[in-house]
Amino acid sequence: MELYAKKVVHIVASADIESRLVKIAQEYNRGGYTIYPARGGGDLGVQSGMLDVDSNIAFMMVVSEKDLDQILQALDRMIKRGYQMIAYVLDAQVLRREKFGVKPS
Amino acid sequence: MELYAKKVVHIVASADIESRLVKIAQEYNRGGYTIYPARGGGDLGVQSGMLDVDSNIAFMMVVSEKDLDQILQALDRMIKRGYQMIAYVLDAQVLRREKFGVKPS
Amino acid sequence: MELYAKKVVHIVASADIESRLVKIAQEYNRGGYTIYPARGGGDLGVQSGMLDVDSNIAFMMVVSEKDLDQILQALDRMIKRGYQMIAYVLDAQVLRREKFGVKPS
Amino acid sequence: MFDFSGLLIPAVLFFMLGFLASVIRSDLKFPEGMSKGLTIYLLVGIGLFGGIELAKVDLSEAIGSVVAAIALGFITPLIAYGILTMVGKVGRMDASAIAAHYGSVSAATFLTAVAFLEARHVNFESHTVIMLAIMESPAIIVGLFLASMSRRMLGLNGQSDDKHNSEGTFGHLLRDAFTNGGVVLLFGSMLIGMIATSNSLDKIMPFFSKQGIFMGVLSLFLLEMGMEAAKRIHEFRKIGFFLVGFGMVMPLVGAVIGLITGHYFLGLSVGGTTLVAVLAASASYIAVPPAMRMAVPEANPSLYLTLAIGVTFPFNVIIGIPLYYQAATWLFG
Amino acid sequence: MFDFSGLLIPAVLFFMLGFLASVIRSDLKFPEGMSKGLTIYLLVGIGLFGGIELAKVDLSEAIGSVVAAIALGFITPLIAYGILTMVGKVGRMDASAIAAHYGSVSAATFLTAVAFLEARHVNFESHTVIMLAIMESPAIIVGLFLASMSRRMLGLNGQSDDKHNSEGTFGHLLRDAFTNGGVVLLFGSMLIGMIATSNSLDKIMPFFSKQGIFMGVLSLFLLEMGMEAAKRIHEFRKIGFFLVGFGMVMPLVGAVIGLITGHYFLGLSVGGTTLVAVLAASASYIAVPPAMRMAVPEANPSLYLTLAIGVTFPFNVIIGIPLYYQAATWLFG
Amino acid sequence: MFDFSGLLIPAVLFFMLGFLASVIRSDLKFPEGMSKGLTIYLLVGIGLFGGIELAKVDLSEAIGSVVAAIALGFITPLIAYGILTMVGKVGRMDASAIAAHYGSVSAATFLTAVAFLEARHVNFESHTVIMLAIMESPAIIVGLFLASMSRRMLGLNGQSDDKHNSEGTFGHLLRDAFTNGGVVLLFGSMLIGMIATSNSLDKIMPFFSKQGIFMGVLSLFLLEMGMEAAKRIHEFRKIGFFLVGFGMVMPLVGAVIGLITGHYFLGLSVGGTTLVAVLAASASYIAVPPAMRMAVPEANPSLYLTLAIGVTFPFNVIIGIPLYYQAATWLFG
Ligand SMILES: Nc1ncnc2c1ncn2[C@@H]1O[C@H](COP(=O)(O)O)[C@@H](O)[C@H]1O
Ligand SMILES: Nc1ncnc2c1ncn2[C@@H]1O[C@H](COP(=O)(O)O)[C@@H](O)[C@H]1O
Ligand SMILES: Nc1ncnc2c1ncn2[C@@H]1O[C@H](COP(=O)(O)O)[C@@H](O)[C@H]1O
Ligand code: NA
Ligand code: NA
Ligand code: NA
């Protein structure tokens, strides 16, 4: 099968800031994103997932190489303003190039 | 630690077609798969995860390089028949080669 | 955006052994880890996720290259003692190097 | 003329609250699994209620309802398919999948109608619950039939030629129609309501009965359905004017058929006739969508989900139920 | 002197059990979503109760409570901010976010106080529930105001200059304060309790009312809160001696203001006065934290969450409520 | 001879429905967390019930039950281990882990027996609930002991030499046995039932008591257990003929011991004796599996889970309970 190189951006953050991240996906990734419920531990202590305030989400976007940088910059702006998150990027090969086209502009 | 090269296939699709994907794992991956609850947004709008019809799953399989292609082809057949999904492949290094052997044939 | 090379360790195991894995994260990864609820299928049959005994978790750690090996060795020790799990490692590029520093020692 | 007091019942008001919450973009959100759990509870409760009532009536009375339910389940989707393809030029695969939803029923709409009737102390025949259970499945079969017919007309070769996929065969898909979780829960609970000793049933009824917590749970569920319905509004533009209109006209068509069936064919009371109208007018969002997603993957799920949840469900809850009740009282006028 | 019998009610005992379970490092864990679901239920139940009671009183009586609630919501966070920045040298952004929590309320603390009063057959005025609903939001506004003032003082340029982020504007943040899920549920349910026909409300009350399962659900929820509170103890060292002390002194300050308001300004009974004290003394962990996480990202969430859930909540449940009740009886002495 | 009417109670029928749903491969599925939540509720409910009853009896009466419970918890796993290793040649590590499950108890089986007895208006002594709570843990200790003995016999050096893992020490594992979530909930709720003021307990009982919604919730839980049990059938071939047989014979062995203990040693009524038999006959699937997964990782979890959930649980619910009851009546014959 023919595959196409894309980037996968993974973010782990408090569930409370979900709407901000969705906004980024809408602006830079044609509204494409996937959210996983998550909990965890880190510098801010344990996020048990039991109360809303204690829940994390993992926010995943499959993005084009060329959209990657402005997405990372948007995330960086959030981080600079104080929003806590971790973010990493993976190299991936996708099926169906047409699902991950350029953003309409 | 010695690690072994494998492929990780990630699929995001409606929870309704889970049984189809499990079938693929049983046929081509010795029944090995992991499912994560998920929600998200894409071309078909928002999948809020609240009702069954509105829930996604992420379906993950660690597969051998040599099984990869027929798994992708099985996915591609599903896509061609109309099933909506996104799928990507990652390069991974696994611990314990014996857990991901060849499929019995 | 500048990115930094890290490793992402993914483990899928029974939810019952979560506390062991958290201990590893605390010992070797400054307490940094993320847990996803999961279910799945493998050599031990189907883990439906309905009862506690039937639930998996995916345990994810973003780690430094240099911490990787001792984490993998800790996992290997668990596996040798009989704990069932699958584990794989991905190459990732992270934002914010300072979030994934060396473990205090 | 239109009597607004019918809207002042908690079920409807909570639906509106959920709708509003979504419209004003509140961050209100039900946790993953909550409405799925509530759905399981509601289906079991309604099934038990139906079974207990069924054990009391004699079977010959019920048989008419069974026949009527099957007939409604077969006829309404055919009409829907006709309207969609002939009036609306909707694609045949989409039309098949949509049609199936209208032949089946929405338990939440039915229960809202029950709450509506009870708030006015209107009695209804308990057979209607059997009809609810029975009507879940036949429409799925009609949908499968329409889809395979459409495939042949369009020259697609669909599922059956796929060697790799035994699930695609008609037999398997048929089985899916009857082993759907919702169908199994409804029928199973009905059977349990019929055969369990009445003494032992009494012990569980504070949990499941309408004298217990059932109606409260329903309200909470409708709160969630309100949010889901409102979320779909954004899709209205995408699915187009014709389909949105169809989502409001088709219930009326169904209701008329239901009213006639309930009043003339089954000879039911005002309450019972209203409920049959509601059954015929409502569109499934539990049993049919997964069946169509599996069996008719060529159809666009946005279309049928938006229609069932975003158009027809709110239409029935807010406008339809009081209207059908009014019509039923006229028939008795 | 201190009357321990007030602690021997299930709500408090389950809180202690959860706390203990966490302290002995039990693997007890609520499934994802369970306490979120219980929270939704509790907010709807309390809203309905308030609405039904409100429909009975005349509006002029209630208006005083509304004014008092708004006043409390504005004044207590200002006092808290003052203490934090002047006595404690807490950073201004952190102080703004923490202050907002103390101006708002904790529904679970309020309900525990209701359980406490009911176990002693002490009546209370139902207006207090309106006050609960109203006090959720104003403090958020004060928090936003304090944060933007602090930003100016610190020379930060915060949210508003960010072209990429219209959500950062004051207007948007204000909207968040009133569209928060908890606020919408409370107000919406209150409205439903007021306007739904009483006959139809009766049908859902076995689910939502205190004669039904409400108090049992509350106990289960407090079990979970106990675990959450205990989990925060590990953070005590990090947040420091001053803040832990603040988390116990501030409720006392609030309670005094609340007692005065309830007794002298509103002329409430012992029960009502106790509840107003509880409202003023309690700190929000539902509506305010997400608002602050969004609007004041510069503040450290560990601080306000540890204070609200790990210090003030247990303090109020175990020590505060009996104390405020005692004080209220003295006022009437 | 075998009286089928005992099966016609909702608890058993819902179990069968779940089983059937899974066998016909229905897509029925409980959302993640639902049965975990129901389990928490059931354990709290049963604990409260036990505690309230305990507060009524005098302690000297209860002490016999406590001793008997501990004895049963120690003896049955030793017998099980003997049968497994000597008759069945099952590996020692697997045998240790399996044995522990049979020394502990299944709360759901116990509650089904309670439902069975209540449907026939048979009274039972409330001490049996204390026995249920007590029997959760001792068998875990026996399991740990058997496992470490087996390790020595097999020349494995297991947990203790692992410098990296303080959790592996016997002390830690012992602590796990008593801090297991289920154990904490049961004991904690029992204590709360004993010490809370009766007036305040009345307020929460519509939620937790058997006159309230408890039995309904149990039915829903058993529906889920039916699905879980059926799922395990596929493993029967893997675990082999001997173990499947063991899963049906061991409950009978346990029941005989339990009947003797209940009737002769404790002098209980028919109902009480039946329940002690059920306790001794049932196998844990809540407290013991995680303990064994942690402490005896060398054992294959498929074996003990399939036995406890797939063989012994259905056996007891369908065949065992009526049988033990019959036997108990004979003893009184
Ligand atoms: N090194 C890490 N590996 C995996 N997840 C992490 C790591 N550090 C932080 N996280 C996740 O990110 C969340 C927030 O991290 P923090 O801001 O450090 O508390 C945590 O609750 C974890 O879920
Ligand atoms: N670019 C993307 N990145 C991450 N997830 C996506 C993306 N596009 C689609 N998805 C996921 O796939 C699901 C179905 O996508 P679609 O068929 O485009 O609606 C969505 O609900 C998302 O969960
Ligand atoms: N090849 C695989 N790909 C993805 N997940 C797997 C695979 N094999 C096992 N798993 C996951 O690991 C869990 C335990 O595997 P096992 O010990 O083989 O039963 C399963 O329940 C799956 O969630
Ligand atoms: Na219909
Ligand atoms: Na306050
Ligand atoms: Na036993």
Most confidently predicted of D34-43, D171-180, E57-66: D34-43
C55 to chain B, any CB pair closer than 8 A? The answer is no
Rounded distance, CA E303 to CA E97, Å?
9
* pLDDT recorded at residue D184: 94
Q: Residue B47 — pLDDT band, cuts 50, 70, 90? A: very high
Q: Is the separation of the CB atoms in F292 and F143 below 8 Å? A: yes
Token pair recorded at residue F120? 């026939």
- The residues, any chain, with a CB within 8 Å of residue E313's CB and separated by 6 or more, are E106, E108, E109, E225, E229, E282, E283, E285
Q: How far is A40 from chain C (nearest CA, A)?
A: 4
Establish whether residue A71 lines the binding site of ligand 2, counting it when its CB lies within 6 angstroms of any ligand atom.
no
Contacts of F119 in chain D (CB under 8 A): 197, 199-200, 203
Asked if the model's pLDDT at residue E3 lies above 80, the reply is no
* pLDDT recorded at residue A103: 41
Asked if the model's pLDDT at residue F313 lies above 70, the reply is yes
* pLDDT recorded at residue D115: 95
Token pair recorded at residue D136? 């879940």
Rounded distance, CA E104 to CA C54, Å?
41
DSSP string, F102-133: HHS--HHHHHHHHHHHHHTT----THHHHHHH
Rounded distance, CA F75 to CA F79, Å?
6
What fold characterizes domain E34-331? Na+/H+ antiporter like fold (1.20.1530)
* pLDDT recorded at residue B96: 85
Asked if the model's pLDDT at residue D147 lies above 60, the reply is yes
pLDDT tens per residue, range F59-104: 787 899 999 999 999 999 999 999 999 998 899 999 999 999 999 9
Sign of CA dihedral E131, E133, E138, E143: positive
Average confidence (pLDDT) per 10 residues, chain A, 105 residues:
95 95 96 97 90 94 96 96 95 87 45
What Rg do the C-alpha atoms of chain F give, in angstroms?
Answer: 19
What is the pLDDT averaged over residues E177-203? Answer: 92
Rounded distance, CA F119 to CA D190, Å?
20
D238 phi/psi in degrees, rounded to 5: -65, -40
Q: Residue E184 — pLDDT band, cuts 50, 70, 90? A: very high
Nearest to E197 among D8, D212, D219 (CB): D8
Question: Range with the lowest mean pLDDT among C35-44, D175-184, D319-328?
Answer: D175-184
Helices (H), ranges, chain F: 10-23, 34-56, 59-82, 92-103, 107-119, 127-135, 138-154, 170-179, 181-195, 198-208, 214-232, 236-260, 270-281, 288-295, 301-305, 313-314, 321-332
pLDDT tens per residue, range E253-266: 999 999 999 999 99
Say yes or no for a CB contact (<8 Å) between E13 and F212: no
Cα E288–E170–A24 angle (5° rounding)?
85
ipTM: 0.95
Looking at this protein, which amino acid is placed at residue C6?
Answer: K
Closest CA to E282 of E174, E144, E178, E136: E136
Looking at this protein, which amino acid is placed at residue E292?
Answer: M
Asked if the model's pLDDT at residue D165 lies above 90, the reply is no
More confident residue, E161 or B71: B71
* pLDDT recorded at residue D333: 80
* pLDDT recorded at residue F164: 45
* pLDDT recorded at residue D38: 96
- The residues, any chain, with a CB within 8 Å of residue B100's CB and separated by 6 or more, are B4, B6, B32, B62, B63, B64, B94, C86
Q: Residue E157 — pLDDT band, cuts 50, 70, 90? A: low
Q: Residue D157 — pLDDT band, cuts 50, 70, 90? A: low
Query: What distances in angstroms separate CA D120 from CA D269, D325, E326, one per listed residue?
Result: 14, 11, 47
Closest CA to E10 of F55, F189, F39, F50: F189
Q: Among B47, B81, B83, pick the best mutation site for testing chain D contact (most D Cβ within 10 A).
A: B81
What's CA D125's distance to the chain center, in Å?
Answer: 18
Question: Is the CATH number 3.40.50.2300 carried by domain C11-59+68-88?
Answer: no
What's CA B42's distance to the chain center, in Å?
Answer: 18
Q: Residue D179 — pLDDT band, cuts 50, 70, 90? A: confident
Rounded distance, CA D324 to CA D305, Å?
24
* pLDDT recorded at residue B104: 40
Q: What percent of chain E has pLDDT over 70?
A: 95
End-to-end, the C-alpha distance of chain C in Å comes to: 31
- Please tell me the distance between residue A80's alpha carbon and the centre of ligand 1 in angstroms: 17
Rounded distance, CA B39 to CA A65, Å?
24
Residues enclosing ligand 1, CB less than 6 A? Answer: A 12, 38, 40-44, 47, 56, 84, 86; C 29, 32-34, 60-62, 100
- Nearest residue in chain F measured CA to CA from E21: F184
More confident residue, E221 or D178: E221
What Rg do the C-alpha atoms of chain D give, in angstroms?
Answer: 19
- Please tell me the distance between residue B81's alpha carbon and the centre of ligand 5 in angstroms: 58
Q: What is the mean pLDDT of chain B?
A: 92
B2 phi/psi in degrees, rounded to 5: -75, 135
Beta pairing partners, E176: none
pTM given for the model: 0.95
Provide the 3-class DSSP secondary structure of residue C5: strand
Question: Range with the lowest mean pLDDT among A45-54, D43-52, D101-110, E296-305?
Answer: A45-54
What is the pLDDT averaged over residues E233-237? Answer: 89
Query: What distances in angstroms separate CA C12 from CA A49, C39, C85, E327, F237, one per listed residue?
Result: 19, 9, 6, 55, 26
Establish whether residue B12 lines the binding site of ligand 2, counting it when its CB lies within 6 angstroms of any ligand atom.
yes
pLDDT tens per residue, range B55-67: 999 999 999 999 9
Return the ligand number nearest the Cα of E73.
5
pLDDT tens per residue, range D191-223: 999 999 999 999 999 999 999 999 999 999 999
A46 phi/psi in degrees, rounded to 5: -85, 135
* pLDDT recorded at residue C98: 76
Q: Residue E173 — pLDDT band, cuts 50, 70, 90? A: confident
Sign of CA dihedral F58, F60, F64, F66: positive
What is the pLDDT averaged over residues D253-280? Answer: 97
pLDDT tens per residue, range F256-268: 999 999 999 999 9
Q: Is the separation of the CB atoms in F81 and F104 below 8 Å? A: no
Q: What percent of chain F has pLDDT over 70?
A: 95
- Please tell me the distance between residue D284's alpha carbon and the centre of ligand 4 in angstroms: 7
Beta pairing partners, B47: B40
Rounded distance, CA A55 to CA E289, Å?
12
Q: Is the separation of the CB atoms in F228 and F68 below 8 Å? A: no
- The residues, any chain, with a CB within 8 Å of residue D327's CB and separated by 6 or more, are D255, D259, D277
Question: Range with the lowest mean pLDDT among B33-42, E150-159, F159-168?
Answer: F159-168
pLDDT tens per residue, range C57-85: 999 999 999 999 999 999 999 999 999 99
Instruction: Please compute, for residue E332, the number of CA atoms within 13 A of its CA located in the half-sphere on the CB side.
Output: 15
- Please tell me the distance between residue F133's alpha carbon and the centre of ligand 6 in angstroms: 12
Say yes or no for a CB contact (<8 Å) between A8 and B90: yes
Say yes or no for a CB contact (<8 Å) between C34 and A12: yes
pLDDT tens per residue, range E281-294: 999 998 899 999 98
Rounded distance, CA D180 to CA E33, Å?
25
Closest CA to E319 of E273, E246, E272, E255: E255
D249 phi/psi in degrees, rounded to 5: -85, -40
Contacts of A53 in chain E (CB under 8 A): 285-286, 289-290, 293, 301, 305, 309
Beta pairing partners, C4: C94
Say yes or no for a CB contact (<8 Å) between B31 and C12: no
Beta pairing partners, A37: A57
Question: Range with the lowest mean pLDDT among D9-18, E65-74, F133-142, F253-262?
Answer: F133-142
Contacts by A26-30, CB closer than 8 A, 24 or more apart: A26/B41, A27/A74, A27/E164, A28/A63, A28/A67, A28/A70, A28/A71, A28/A74, A28/A103, A29/A61, A29/A63, A29/A67, A29/A71, A29/A103, A30/A101, A30/A103, A30/A104, A30/B43
Domain edges within chain D: 34-331
Say yes or no for a CB contact (<8 Å) between F176 and E24: no
Asked if the model's pLDDT at residue F127 lies above 90, the reply is no
End-to-end, the C-alpha distance of chain E in Å comes to: 16
Q: Residue E220 — pLDDT band, cuts 50, 70, 90? A: very high
The b-or-e profile of B74-92 (16+ CB within 10 A means b, else e) is: bbeebbebbbbbbbbbbbb
More confident residue, D7 or E161: D7
Q: Residue D70 — pLDDT band, cuts 50, 70, 90? A: very high
Which residue bears the tokens 């875990």? Answer: F140
